[in-house]
Amino acid sequence: MKSFRHLVPALCISLTFSLPSLAAALNGAGSSAAAPLYNIWSQAYVKKSGEALDYKPVGSSGGIKQIKAREVDFGASDVAMNPADLKKEQLIQFPSAISGVVPIINVPGIRSGELKLTGELLAAIFSRKITMWNDAAITSLNPNVSLPSKNIEVIVRQDGSGTTYNYTDYLSKISPDWKAAYSKNFTIAWHKDLTQIKGSSGIVAALKKTPYAISYIDYNYVLQDKLSAVQLKNRDGKFLSASAESFAAALNASQWKTKASFDEMLTDKSGPNVWPITMGTFVIVPQASATPEKTIAVLKFFAWGFLNGDHLVNNVDLVRLPDAIQARVYKEMTTVTDKSGKPLQWSLQQ
Mean pLDDT of the chain: 91
Q: What is the tens place of the pLDDT at every residue in 274-332?
A: 999 999 999 999 999 999 999 999 999 999 999 888 888 988 888 899 888 998 898 88
Angle between helices 119-126 and 162-174 (to 10 degrees): 110
How far is residue 282's CA from residue 98's CA, in Å, rounded to a whole number? Answer: 9
Torsion region of 157: left, alpha or beta (phi above 0 gives left; psi -120 to 50 gives alpha): beta
Residues in contact with 207: Cβ distance below 8 Å, sequence separation at least 6, in sequence order: 104, 105, 106, 155, 213, 215, 227
Angle between helices 292-308 and 35-49 (to 10 degrees): 100
| Amino acid 23: pLDDT | 42
pLDDT (mean) for 85-111:
96
CA 246 to chain centroid, in Å, comes to 15
The band of 24, judged by pLDDT with boundaries at 50, 70 and 90, is: low
Largest Cα–Cα distance in the chain?
68
Q: What is the CATH number of domain 2-98+280-338?
A: 3.40.190.10
| Amino acid 349: pLDDT | 61
Q: What is the tens place of the pLDDT at every residue in 170-203?
A: 999 999 999 999 999 999 999 999 999 999 999 9
- Residues 270 and 252: beta-carbon distance below 8 Å: no
The band of 7, judged by pLDDT with boundaries at 50, 70 and 90, is: very low
What architecture does CATH give domain 100-259? 3-Layer(aba) Sandwich (3.40)
Exposed / middle / buried, residue 122 (Cβ in 10 Å: 0-12, 13-18, 19+): buried
Which pTM was predicted? Answer: 0.88
Q: Domain ranges for the chain, please list them.
A: 2-98+280-338, 100-259
Pairing label, strands 91-106, 213-218 = antiparallel
HEC-encoded secondary structure of 295-325: HHHHHHHHHHHHHHCHHHHHHCCCECCCHHH
How far is residue 148's CA from residue 134's CA, in Å, rounded to a whole number? Answer: 6
